[in-house]
Structure 1
Amino acid sequence: MLSNNITKQFWRYSIPSVIAMVVSGVYLIVDGIFIGHVLGASGLAAINLAWPIIFLVTGLGLMVGVGAGALISIASGKAQQTKAQSLLSHALLLMIVMAALFTSLLWALGETPIRVQGASGDIQQMAESYLSILGNGALVVLCSCALPILIRNDNSPNFATVLMIIGAVANIGLDYLLIVHWNWQLAGAAYATLGAQALVMLLALGYFFSPYSTLSFQFSRFTLNTGYLANIANLGLSSFFTTVYTAFITVIHNYLFLRYGSITETGAYAIVLYLSVIYYFIAEGFANGMQPLISYNYGAKRYDNVLKVMALGFSIILGTGLAAVVLINLFSELSVGVFNNNDPELLSATVTGIRLHLWAMPFDGLVFTAAVVFQSINMANRATLISLGNMAVQLPFMLILPMTLGVTGIWLVMPVSTVLLSILVTGWLIKLVSKLKAEA
């Protein structure tokens, strides 16, 4: 990771990470295709009501994976291998505790998370079925998110990618079997996702017990250090809040679309999210690939390498964002048709949503990547502030735009607020670059 040819190292880490995330995006899209064609707008609306709650446990997994991964890489950069080993064991403990707490909370809340979004009838029942299955498997969901990140930080980015590909292929196969062939409807989609994630979890745990891993779990020699738990959670908090932001925004949009629009607009919103997945996963893939390199080189005080990685990463993420906006608008009707079973109202509503909602994607990629950069250098407070700012900036627009512009205003909430936040984040990045240049 200290190589003078940092560009080569960048691609070594980024390409497997991007492939893994794109594959994950593809299987989410295939999930949506099966649901859209078999269950129509109602099925798409129902899964969109359940996903915000599942985002929360995904966020816990990312919090542990990114927080522990960055600390492990920094410790490795300082040649503190004993500390790195201990951090891995504390990460596993944190996953178990958080999964148990999440499942318990979900049991206590019952149908409230779905009902509060304005759902009723068959859509509510479908969403509750999906949520119940994945909620009971919270440990599987959490581990399948966190463990590949830890494997990547153990200098095995290719194996982390293989894991994600295996999970994606398994999910697609199970989707066809359970949704189309056995007609288990939305419950089938949930079992397919959980089964694929269980496979990823088991293979990832097996890696850390294999000779290929430089790290291993310390069971017999484990000594609890609450400071490590706090450091992991604090540094990864930005990733959790980024996911909370996604969940929060989705919940509010679902509520607003059901209030000011209809099930059709809610289904259209689900399709728009599916169509944006590939870009966001590409951006996340590059950001995840940047993180181990930035953390390791920052720990080793190679600030010149940190700056090179940042320059490459941001250039690519902004460029791919611009390309994604152009392509998705050029081929909007064709793209929507993949999810739509001959419903002209759903097609019209979704194309409108694409035009209004997705034009600011490059700025969203900038904001997300900036948070990852600050996490990578152990600036947890700045990273968390970015994630919380995403929600805070959108709140006034959520109140004003729907009241004044109706459904059009709902579509515009996210892009308008994202542009404003990106201006602030760009200023912070400029200051960081100046500081690193002075110390290089």
Structure 2
Amino acid sequence: MIKHLDLRDGNINKLLLEFSIPAIIGMLVMAFYVIIGRIFVGQGVGSIALAAVTVAQPIMTIMMAFGVLIGIGATALASIRMGEQKYKEVEEIAGNATLLLIILPLVIAVIYYLFSDTFLRLFGASEEVLPYARDYMNVFMLGAIPGALSPGLNNFIRAQGNPRFSMTTQIIGAVINIVFNYIFIFMMGLGIKGSALATVFGQVVSMIWVLSFFFQDKSRIKLRAKNLKPKLSITLKITTIGFAPFALQLAASVQQTILNQTVKFYGGDLALSAVGIIMSTGMLFIMPIIGLSQGAQPIVGFNYGAKLYNRVKEAEKKAIFYATIFSVVSFFLIRMFAIPIVGLFSAEDPALTELSAHALVTFFALLPIIGFQIMGSNYFQAVGKAVESTILSLSRQVLFFIPLLLILPRFWGIEGVWRTAPIADACSVLLTGAIFLSEMRKLSNMPKVPSQDVSYPES
């Protein structure tokens, strides 16, 4: 296990590898299980079912947004407090986060069940797609609480220096999801309901696995009943820091809704199925970069809290370098293998394969620069600068993507939808570069402090 003393004095490259590789593997596993689940749905149920999952995506993203609000916000705050040696507050943060990760998903699930058809139509369901989307989401929402608790508390495990256990959590959930997707769809004939049920199974087992960690000796953060009592000051700090990634996920839901409606208008249900393929495949190339950013976060946050700014800069530079390499490799893989990749979802539908392959290449035309944008915005989240983090996190999906999505298809039709993404990417990278480079110059001028022992005390 990595000690917090290592975060202060350890080799940055080694720390990035120690923290990021398990996170990247975990993210890749998540991406694979989403992709395989979509393949099972496409092959076992049909293209209309793929469209239904695409329609359901904005709702699932809203659920994820609230999990991110609490999980990422609390973890970033806890990392800073560990750097400041405020250890009592760390457990209070964990307790308050746990309570919020139970209450918020429950409220959202109740609201969904009251207005399910209204939401699904809003998110792009046609009359043909609606029954499939309803079947999928009615089962999926049964896992609202474990679906939030598992990833939310898993961040605390990583922040304590246990990235491998954190990775194992993601692998367990993914394997269960994949196995039961196959069983429920192909062996038991449960169709799209089976896919949703497999997801719920994976979430429940992952939640149990995560909770078990906090009651083991190797966990230095304990979940104590007294800390489940809500504390307004801590809740406000958690939500302030977590607001940027929360807003990003919420914006993603808005983006997906507008995208679904626009695609349905210009391309019909076939194009809606293509969007599902693009988004699922895109996870394979974006999630590892997010994993790298998760691995860098405790390193950056701890050293920023300890006022070791040279180490903060070194960690950021190296994280950006690795993210860019991965982005470039992913770009060439998409260019070379677009048709075989999308063909996995739609082997029986050549028209869908052709449309999806073209859209995939166009949508990710500027993928090589995305690594910098993600890492740049993640820096401000890691050091608790909510305003900058919010602006940069929202830049691709709100400030640029949505306006372009409303404008470009008027001139280029469905082609305008696919071209929206690279243009938005270019604009967001320019904005991120200006703000991030200014911050790095400020960091160089901040006063340094002598090294001090900030290791975490034994429980």
Relative to the length of structure 1, the TM-score reads: 0.97
2:101 aligned partner, one-letter code: M
In the other structure, the counterpart of 2:457 is none
Q: What's the counterpart of residue 411 of structure 1?
A: 418
Counterpart mapping for 1:13-162 below 5 A: 13-162=19-168
Deviations 1:119-170 (A, max 9, x none): 2334111111211222232111111221111111122111001111111111
Which residue matches 2:441?
Answer: 434
Q: Is 2:382 the partner of 1:376? A: yes
Deviations 1:238-291 (A, max 9, x none): 111221222222221111111111211111111111221111111000000000
Partner of 2:250: 244
TM-score (structure 2 length as normaliser): 0.93
Equivalent in the alignment of 2:401: 394
2:229, 2:360 → 1: CA distance?
52
Choose which of 423, 432, 436 in structure 1 pairs with 2:430: 423
The aligned amino acid for 1:162 is T
Task: Indicate the residue corresponding to 1:202 in structure 2.
Answer: 208
Residues 202-238 of structure 1, C-alpha deviations (whole Å, 9 max, x = no match): 1101111111100111214655420100111110111
- Counterpart secondary structure, 2:67: helix
User: Could you tell me how far apart the structure 2 residues matched to 1:164 and 1:118 are?
Assistant: 30
CA separation of 1:48 and 1:222: change in aligned 2, threshold 3 A: closer
1:64-94 Cα offsets, whole Å, 9 max, x none, are 1111111111111111110111110011111
SS of residue matched to 2:346:
coil
Corresponding letter in the other structure for 2:433: T
| Matched residue, 1:264 | 270
The answer to whether the Cα contact below 8 Å between 1:40 and 1:341 also exists between their aligned partners in 2 is no
Q: Is the 8 A contact 1:317 1:362 kept in 2?
A: no
C-alpha displacement of 1:317: 1.1
How far apart, CA to CA, are the structure 2 residues paired with 1:329 and 1:301? 43
Equivalent position SS for 1:268: helix
Q: Which residue in the other structure is 1:337 paired with? A: 343
2:96–2:229 contact (8 Å) kept in structure 1? no
Give runs of aligned pairs for residues 338-357 of structure 1, distance below 5 A.
Answer: 338-357=344-363
CA contact (8 A) 1:52 1:248 kept: yes
Between the aligned partners of 1:305 and 1:437, the Cα distance in structure 2 is: 11
Whether the 8 Å contact between 1:90 and 1:229 is mirrored in structure 2 is yes
* Other-structure match for 2:260: 254
Q: Distance in 1 between matches of 2:10 and 2:263?
A: 52
Distance (whole Å) between structure 2 residues aligned to residue 409 and residue 341 of structure 1: 26
- Secondary structure at the aligned position of 2:123 is classed as coil
CA distance in 2, matches of 1:206, 1:437: 42
CA RMSD of aligned residues (A): 1.4
Q: Structure 2 vs 1, CA of residues 117 and 94 (structure 1 numbering), >3 Å: closer, same or farther?
A: closer
- Checking the alignment, whether the CA contact within 8 Å between 2:58 and 2:123 is kept in structure 1 is no
Instruction: Report the identity percentage.
Output: 27
Instruction: Identify the residue that residue 367 of structure 1 maps to in structure 2.
Output: 373
SS of 2:225's equivalent in the other structure is: coil
Counterpart-to-counterpart distance in 1, 2:143 and 2:357 = 35
* CA distance, structure 1, for counterparts of residue 282 and residue 237 of structure 2: 33
Letter in 2 for 1:82: K
Change (3 A) 1:303 1:403: same
Match of 1:290 in 2: 296
Look up the match of 2:4. Answer: none
* Contact 1:134–1:141, Cα closer than 8 Å, also in 2: no
How far did 1:350 drift? 0.8
Amino acid at match of 1:137: G
Structure 1 stretch displaced more, 383-392 or 174-183: 383-392
CA contact (8 A) 1:34 1:176 kept: yes
- Partners of 2:129 and 2:92 lie apart in 1 by 46
Counterparts of 2:130 and 2:230, CA distance in 1: 43
Paired AA for residue 393 in structure 2: S
CA distance in 1 between partners of 2:444 and 2:226 (Å): 45
Structure 2 unaligned residues grouped into runs of 5+: 1-6, 449-459
Provide the rounded CA distance (Å) in 1 between the counterparts of 2:230 and 2:344: 51
Distance 1:315 1:220 in 2: 43
Q: Residues of 2 paired with 1:221 and 1:253: CA distance? A: 42
CA distance in 2: counterparts of 1:427 and 1:257, whole angstroms = 33
Structure 1 segments of 4 or more deviating over 3 A? 220-224, 362-365
Equivalent residue, structure 1, for 2:218:
212
Change (3 A) 1:267 1:145: same
CA distance in 2, matches of 1:16, 1:221: 29
CA contact (8 A) 1:245 1:387 kept: no
CA distance in structure 2 between the aligned counterparts of 1:223 and 1:414, rounded to whole angstroms? 43
Q: CA 1:99–1:117 in structure 2 vs 1: closer, same or farther (change >3 Å)? A: closer
Q: Which of the numbers 269, 273, 277 marks the counterpart of 2:279?
A: 273
